[in-house]
Structure 1
Amino acid sequence: MEEMGLRERKKRRMYQDVSDVAVRLFLERGFEAVSVAEVAAAAGISKPTLFRYFPAKEDLVLYRIADHETEAAGVAAGAADPVDALRRHFLAGLARRDPVTGLNDRPEVLAFHRLLYGTPSLVVRAYAHQERAEAALAEALGGGLDARLAAGQITAVQRILALENYRRIAAGETAEQVAPDAVEAAERAFGRLAAGLRGPVRKPAG
């Protein structure tokens, strides 16, 4: 078991290291200007090895948000009130300035967001990531049409709140300046979401 754990840690370290090298190069020169072969060379691995870890060039960037794909589903699973659990989770993310909430003004985070939102192929892949996150959340809510509808609305609220925070910070405001409005907007949005969904979100067992 310890040996398997070590192999898994080494694998994760490889993913992280190669992604970090790629993102640094993309930020310096632009996503389209850097080839996969250049990333492999900078990371000290062969191109075939890189493709074993990252099947597409875009995956080198999207790896940084891959862990968030099942985050909402994990929060909702087992919660008596999934919408309230997700509201509290989003507010906690705002409080710790989690980049996924958009409320983070660190230069490296802003640079990554500009890369992500400013590159068409990355936007397309990010949308696919969002669809998978939405599907995972729907499954956590019990599956079925009602769960998919609820998951779509919840995912949209999270995305729009985060994009609004990022938009304001990208325009020159600091995270501290945006924070009070971000909290108020999240409370309002999740409140309306809960009222609009009405009744239990999760499909009854059986």
Structure 2
Amino acid sequence: MAEPMGLRERKKLQTATRIYRVAVGLFVERGFDHVSVQEIADAAEVSKMTVFNYFRTKEDLVFHPMEEHFSDAARAVRERQPGESAVAAVRRQFLELVESRDPSVGLNPEPLSRQVRQLVMGTPVLMERAFLTFQKGTRELADLLAAETGDLMLATVAAATLSAARNALVEEHHRRIAEGESADQVAADAAERARKAFDLVEKGLKDYAVKA
């Protein structure tokens, strides 16, 4: 069981959360390129130095709270139980995130995660960082699998396939909500869709889309 946070840690978390939410609000309202760190500090009622104590760069004000999730698949494989396959581990973890309605998979009803996604999609410098960070997570998974199996090429194929399956599921959640469905409606069949997606990965593609 995790140790409860002390007062100092709680205050630091509260400060970081306030800065993050203020920054995202300003970015969404005015555009990432049109908001300075000093303006964020003023709106959050902290110094500019305090902002940089919590977030190393302006881009971190968008990515820092969610960047750890780019390594979720590698974490699931690294921590899996003996006898559990890589696909089973990633599927299990994803289903747990679906069950908890985690913002990282696009199912949390709070609009903040979707605002962040729209911000990233509409800002080239943030899109580039998102792409590179996604690739870094896939490479981390590939290196982990290669260390276990001794075959980097097949490990790279497996990692790319698992990462693509996760990303396709998350994109589907965001697409449906953007088209008007509620987070509750999308979550209702999210687990079933996830099982189908990872079943496809697990079974391979030899019988997929055979032309009549």
Same fold (TM over 0.5): yes
Q: What is aligned with 2:210?
A: none
* Aligned with residue 114 of structure 1, among 95, 109, 118: 118
Which amino acid is 2:136 matched to?
A: R
Structure 1 Cα separation of the partners of residues 10 and 111 of structure 2: 29
Pick from 144, 162, 165: which aligns with 2:170? Answer: 162
Q: Is the 8 A contact 1:75 1:85 kept in 2?
A: yes
CA contact (8 A) 1:104 1:110 kept: no
Contact 1:97 1:103 in 2 (8 A): yes
Decide whether the 8 Å contact of 1:105 with 1:169 is kept in 2. Answer: no
Of 131, 141, 157, 1:137 maps to 141
Question: 1:22 Cα shift?
Answer: 1.3
Q: Which shows bigger deviation, 74-83 or 158-167?
A: 74-83
The alignment partner of 2:33 has SS state of coil
Aligned equivalent of 1:148 = 156
Which SS does the other structure have where 1:56 is aligned? coil
Give the 3-state SS of the residue equivalent to 1:149 in structure 2. helix
CA contact (8 A) 2:106 2:113 kept: no
C-alpha distance 145-17 of structure 1, shift in aligned 2 (>3 A): farther
For 1:53 and 1:136, the matched residues in 2 are separated by 25
Paired with 2:37 and 2:140, the residues of 1 have a C-alpha distance of: 30
1:63 matched residue in structure 2: 64
Aligned residue number for residue 18 of structure 1: 19
Choose between structure 1 and 2 for higher RCO, CA contacts under 8 A separated by at least 6 residues. 1
Which amino acid is 1:195 matched to? K
Alpha-carbon displacement from aligned partner over 1:107-162 (angstroms, at most 9, x marks no partner): 33332332232322222111122112112222332342222221111111111110
2:100 corresponds to which residue?
96
Instruction: Give the alignment of 1:123-134 within 5 angstroms.
Output: 123-134=127-138
Residue identity in the other structure for 2:165: V
Superposition TM-score, scaled by structure 2 size: 0.77
Say which of 174, 180, 188 aligns to 2:196. 188
Mark the runs of 5 or more structure 1 residues left unpaired by the alignment.
Answer: 199-206
Q: Is the 8 A contact 2:106 2:114 kept in 1?
A: no
Task: Give structure 2 stretches of 5+ with no counterpart.
Answer: 1-5, 207-212
The alpha carbon displacement at 1:25 in A equals 1.8
Residue 28 to residue 150, structure 1, CA distance change in 2 (3 Å): same
CA shift for structure 1 position 168? 0.5
Identity among equivalent positions (%) equals: 43
Q: Which SS does the other structure have where 2:40 is aligned?
A: helix
Alignment RMSD: 2.9
Number of positions where the alignment pairs a residue of Structure 1 with one of Structure 2 = 195
Which stretch of structure 1 is more off in the superposition, 87-96 or 175-184?
175-184
TM-score by length of 1: 0.79
> Aligned letter for 1:104?
N
